[in-house]
Amino acid sequence: MDRTLIQNPQERLVLVTADKVKLEGNLVIPNSTTGIVLFAHGCGSICYSSRNRYVAGVLQQAGLGTLLFDLLTPEEEEIDLRTRHLRFDIRLLASRLVGATDWLTQNPNTSHLKIGYFGASTGGGAALVAAAQRPEVVKAVVSRGGRTDLAGATLADVKAPTLMIVGGYDLPVIAMNEDALEQLRSPKHLEIIPKTTDLFEEPGALAAVAQLASQWFRRYLNHGV
């Protein structure tokens, strides 16, 4: 892939209290930022994911804060590796994301920041459910190859402007996102990146995702409502 990890000396490790558990995370708060983006993924370690860290680095360069943290505890991750069911437990994933959101709003260093979500795979569905549960707090959502269909009837309750990004070769997920788009009542847009698969590994694909996400978040977190 054509991406290069962007290192940020402002990054620090944090323990996020969410849904009665402690979750490890990486927090970056650039100087003078007005917005922060929480990353949500249904499985695997977000903190060590090269894809998520690349996108986070682009957002940081755009002046946005980022919080990368794992929605599952290490013990839950071990279970999910065997059963593959927790990554589809949207209520659980969303509750962790809501908990992290509340943690940010109660932290004096971040309580003033506008909050956005960047969700991938089943994390896209969890991000929309969480956004519906915190409509006055979450100001923007971006979904990368997200299972937005898993948000179900909650989609109608989402107030946050939502950008869905899907690879052109990922036909089942395109259909799912088109259906979800019809149910959303908030400002919304579906962006299909041509000749791209679900993992966005093609040359330039992930960079396009990062730029689209950066523009969306800067619009609604730096200058939005």
- pLDDT tens for the chain, residues 1 to 225: 334 455 566 888 899 988 789 998 999 999 889 999 999 987 655 666 788 999 999 999 999 999 999 898 888 888 888 888 888 999 999 999 999 999 999 999 999 999 999 999 999 999 999 999 999 999 999 999 999 999 999 999 999 999 999 999 999 999 999 999 999 999 999 999 999 999 999 999 999 999 999 999 999 998 544
171 in a structural domain: yes
Within a domain: 189: yes
Q: How far apart are CA 200 and CA 191, in angstroms?
A: 13
Residue in 166, 88, 165, 98 with CA at minimum distance from that of residue 127: 98
Give me the domain span that covers residue 151. 12-222
Residue range 159-177, pLDDT digits in tens: 999 999 999 999 999 999 9
Burial pattern 145-184, b for ≥16 Cβ within 10 A else e, equals bbbbbbbeebbebbbbbbbbbbbeebeebbebbeebeebb
**Counted domains in the chain:** 1
The string of pLDDT tens digits covering residues 111-136 is 999 999 999 999 999 999 999 999 99
In-domain check, residue 128: yes
> Domain for residue 83, yes or no?
yes
CATH code assigned at 25: 3.40.50.1820
Q: What's the token pair of residue 182? A: 């019809």
Residue 4 belongs to some domain of the structure = no
Asked whether residue 202 is domain-assigned, the answer is: yes
3 within some domain? no
In a domain, 5, yes or no: no
